């Protein structure tokens, strides 16, 4: 009996010691908070976080915000109050208000806002040069449209389309790049753009895309989250083309998806965490832009379409990519 008691004490002490040493270690600890971890861009962020966890053995906590605005501030406070996390990644524009308040209430906590830049100097920003990727998407779409009936499924409309989710700055930036790219590579092609007003309504996305196809556009660029899933389906229904966004969407309508403009959330979070582990800590107020040159954005032409793309188009695209990367082609960000 006495022996057992002693064993228990030893076991308890070892346990306590192991817990103690665990927190004493200089292990990087990261949290991420969003309501969108299960879809598109959010999935790529989770991929990047898990990759970093696998490679560097960091502590990782994912927090789902749900959709009640009343909860957000409390959730930020719960994460930040103990100073337990080195970095807290935040994704989603609906969280901005709560994030700004939390960054003021917990000035020593570093929050990384993914996908945008706000006014506050107390937050770290991970921004994507989506205008650069969209420029290439626009150039590709414009040049394919210019092929006319020589290219499968293309009519003589000389127009390409754009379906945005909500009319918010980041989506405007996509549109701006797309228009500039199309104008650069195919000045005759018109860009017809429309905003769905929501990210959660595939039926509406489909309806809007069909309207654009009806007006003579043969290629529609979807920048609308789940609403955009309807755009992809509509391209199959109308047998026209669509361009996916954020993640590789070639499989959502094989044969009708021209390409996807990838926003590599995984590249962004992984490289920020890598910096953190290596001692290059990010500082509040800094903006880290992930662009074409650093692999933060890229356009992936779908494998089933790639062989039919004319060689001069491919060559021109490569030239544009090089031009953007070395700065000889300037792509303006939307204001």
Smallest distance from the beta carbon of 33 to another protein, in angstroms? 9
Token output for 4: 């057992």
β-pair partners for 60: 30
- Pick the binder of another protein from 69, 203, 306, 315 (CB under 8 A): 69
Is the CB of residue 110 less than 8 Å from the CB of residue 86?
A: yes
Closer to another protein by Cβ: residue 77 or 194: 77
Closer to another protein by Cβ: residue 2 or 335: 335
d(CA 265, CA 91): 10
Is residue 77 at the binding interface for another protein, with CB under 8 A as the rule? yes
Binding segment for another protein (CB under 8 A), chosen from 18-26, 161-169, 283-291, 298-306, is: 161-169
Is residue 78 at the binding interface for another protein, with CB under 8 A as the rule? yes
- Pick the binder of another protein from 22, 57, 66, 83 (CB under 8 A): 66
β-pair partners for 87: 30, 110
User: 157-178 burial, b for 16+ CB within 10 Å, e for fewer?
Assistant: bbbbbbbbbeeeebbbbbbbbb
Smallest distance from the beta carbon of 94 to another protein, in angstroms? 5
Closer to another protein by Cβ: residue 75 or 252: 75
Is residue 197 at the binding interface for another protein, with CB under 8 A as the rule? yes
What is the total count of residues that contact another protein (CB under 8 A)?
A: 25
The footprint of another protein on residues 240-269 (CB under 8 A) is: none
Token output for 111: 């929050």
Closer to another protein by Cβ: residue 78 or 215: 78
Number of Cβ within 10 Å of residue 328's Cβ equals 10
Smallest distance from the beta carbon of 67 to another protein, in angstroms? 6
β-pair partners for 305: none
Is the CB of residue 160 less than 8 Å from the CB of residue 182?
A: yes
Is the CB of residue 26 less than 8 Å from the CB of residue 1?
A: no
Is residue 311 at the binding interface for another protein, with CB under 8 A as the rule? no
The footprint of another protein on residues 5-34 (CB under 8 A) is: 31
d(CA 263, CA 171): 13
Smallest distance from the beta carbon of 123 to another protein, in angstroms? 15
Q: How many CA atoms lie within 13 A of 304 on its CB side?
A: 12
Q: Which residues bind another protein (CB under 8 A)?
A: 31, 61, 63-64, 66-71, 73-75, 77-79, 93-94, 96, 166-169, 197-198
């Amino acid at each position: 009996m006495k022996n057992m008691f002693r064993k228990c004490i030893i076991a308890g002490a070892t346990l306590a010691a192991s817990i103690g040493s665990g927190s004493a270690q200089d292990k990087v600890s990261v949290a991420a908070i969003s309501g969108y971890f299960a879809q598109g861009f959010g999935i790529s962020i989770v991929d990047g976080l898990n990759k970093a966890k696998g490679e560097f053995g960091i502590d990782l906590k994912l927090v789902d915000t749900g959709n009640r605005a009343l909860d957000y501030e409390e959730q930020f406070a719960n994460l930040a109050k103990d100073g337990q996390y080195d970095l807290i990644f935040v994704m989603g524009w609906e969280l901005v208000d709560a994030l700004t308040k939390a960054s003021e209430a917990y000035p020593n906590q570093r929050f990384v806002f993914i996908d945008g830049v706000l006014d506050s100097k107390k937050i770290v920003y991970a921004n994507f040069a989506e205008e650069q990727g969209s420029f290439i998407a626009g150039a590709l779409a414009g040049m394919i449209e210019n092929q006319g009936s020589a290219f499968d499924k293309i009519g003589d409309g000389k127009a390409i389309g754009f379906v945005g989710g909500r009319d918010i700055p980041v989506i405007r930036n996509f549109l701006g790049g797309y228009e500039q790219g199309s104008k650069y590579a195919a000045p005759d092609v018109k860009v017809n753009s429309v905003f769905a007003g929501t990210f959660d309504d595939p039926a509406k996305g489909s309806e809007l895309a069909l309207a654009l196809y009806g007006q003579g556009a043969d290629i529609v660029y979807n920048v609308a989250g789940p609403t955009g899933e309807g755009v992809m389906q509509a391209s199959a229904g109308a047998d026209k083309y669509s361009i996916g966004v954020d993640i590789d969407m070639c499989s959502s309508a094989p044969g009708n998806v021209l390409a996807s403009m990838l926003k590599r959330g995984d590249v962004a979070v992984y490289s920020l965490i890598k910096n953190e582990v290596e001692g290059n800590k990010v500082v509040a107020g800094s903006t880290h832009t992930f662009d074409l040159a650093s692999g933060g954005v890229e356009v992936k032409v779908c494998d089933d379409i790639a062989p039919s793309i004319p060689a001069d188009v491919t060559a021109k695209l490569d030239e544009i990519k090089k031009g953007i990367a070395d700065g000889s082609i300037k792509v303006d960000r939307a204001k």
